[in-house]
Structure formats: structure tokens, C-alpha cells
Amino acid sequence: MAKRPADPADDGAAAVRQVPMRDFSRSLPMSLLRAREAVMRQFRPSLREHGLTEQQWRILRALAAIDTVEVTELARTAFLLGPSLSRILRDLEARSLIERKTAKADQRRSMVSISEKGVKLMASVAPSSEAIYAEITRRFGARKLVELQEMLGELEQSLAGLGAGEEASAEE
């Protein structure tokens, strides 16, 4: 209701005083940001104690499940952009948590896998991580959690292929 046009023509003066747009703190991006932050705030301390960042942990988890993957595929799985992943892999490799070797068939591709050390590190973090997840589930409610995730998935689907610029329609 009442979308609040943000009326540009409405002469600057008053525009600034009253509700300029949708209260803003109630916008979808903010809601998602705050919810995610509330969740991550629970995990960060534990990860930090083990010398891992959120993204590094994502990568290790993805690797543990897939065994061996190309960088591009890993980027998709861990939901990281190429450049970020590239840097992180360099660091994880330096710390011997992962291993990398170029594919024989295609010299451009490098196959990544978690190392023994990496597996051990994961094993030491997992319990705490699982406990936190369980506590979150308990507090919010298992059923609602499933429901929430379904809605998030639907939202994602709704917007799939909207701003990705499927070429052949943009002015650039």
C-alpha cells in the first residue's frame, strides 16, 4: 500500500522531511542483510578461533563434499566471484589446507582439492558449527526454517534472469 513515489517533482524542500521512500529499514535488501548478519554473527567467533573466515570455511566445506573440482565450478558452488576465490585459494594453498594441480587435458584448468590438513581442520570446526546451527534451528523453529528457505529459494527463482543482462535487449 502506498508505494510512496519518491516524487522527484515534489520540490526538494518538503520531500526530505517526510517519508522519502519505503522507510528504508524495511526494504527487502535491508531485511535480508540484517537477517544474514544476525546469523553470521553466531558463526564468526567460532570460525575465527580456528583461523578461518566465513568464505574460507565455505570453500573447505564445498571441497570436502566434492573431492576435486575446477576453480570455476568451485566458484559457483561456494558462491564466490572468481577474483575472490583466486585470492583465497592462493592463501589456503600457502597454508596447505588445499592442493592444486593443473589438469592434463586442459592446461588452463586447475583442479582443486582439500588436503589432509584441511580435512582435519574441518573436523575440528564442524562440531561447534553444527551446534550453532542446531541452536539457531531450535530458536527459530525447524519448520519455519524450512519454510523460510523455501521462500528464499522462490525469491531467487523469481529474479533469475532479470538483470543478468541476457544481452539482446540492453542499450549497451
Partner DNA sequence: CGAATATACTTAACATGTTAAGTTAATGCG
Partner DNA sequence: CGCATTAACTTAACATGTTAAGTATATTCG
Q: Tell me which residues in 113-172 interact with DNA (CB under 7 A).
A: none
3-class SS at 110?
Answer: strand
The H-or-E segment that residue 57 falls in is: helix 54-66
Distance between CA atoms of 56 and 59, rounded to whole angstroms? 5
**What residues numbered 5-44 form the site for DNA, per CB under 7 A?**
37, 40, 44
- Whole-number minimum distance, CB 8 to DNA, in Å? 24
**What residues numbered 92-111 form the site for DNA, per CB under 7 A?**
105-110
C-alpha cell, 29:
535488501
Most distant pair of Cα atoms in the chain: their distance: 67
The residue within the footprint of DNA, chosen from 60, 85, 114, 122 (CB under 7 A), is 85
Q: Residue 81 touches which of its own copies, DNA, none (CB < 5 to 8 A by kind)?
A: DNA
Amino acid at the residue 152: L
The H-or-E segment that residue 108 falls in is: none
Q: Are 63 and 112 in contact (CB under 8 A)?
A: yes
Q: Residue 96 touches which of its own copies, DNA, none (CB < 5 to 8 A by kind)?
A: none
CB closer to DNA out of 72 and 149: 72
- Whole-number minimum distance, CB 147 to DNA, in Å? 26
Q: What residues contact residue 29 under an 8 Å CB cut-off, 6+ apart?
A: none
Q: Residue 131 touches which of DNA, its own copies, none (CB < 5 to 8 A by kind)?
A: none
Residues that bind DNA (CB under 7 A): 37, 40, 44, 48, 53, 55-56, 70-73, 80-91, 105-110
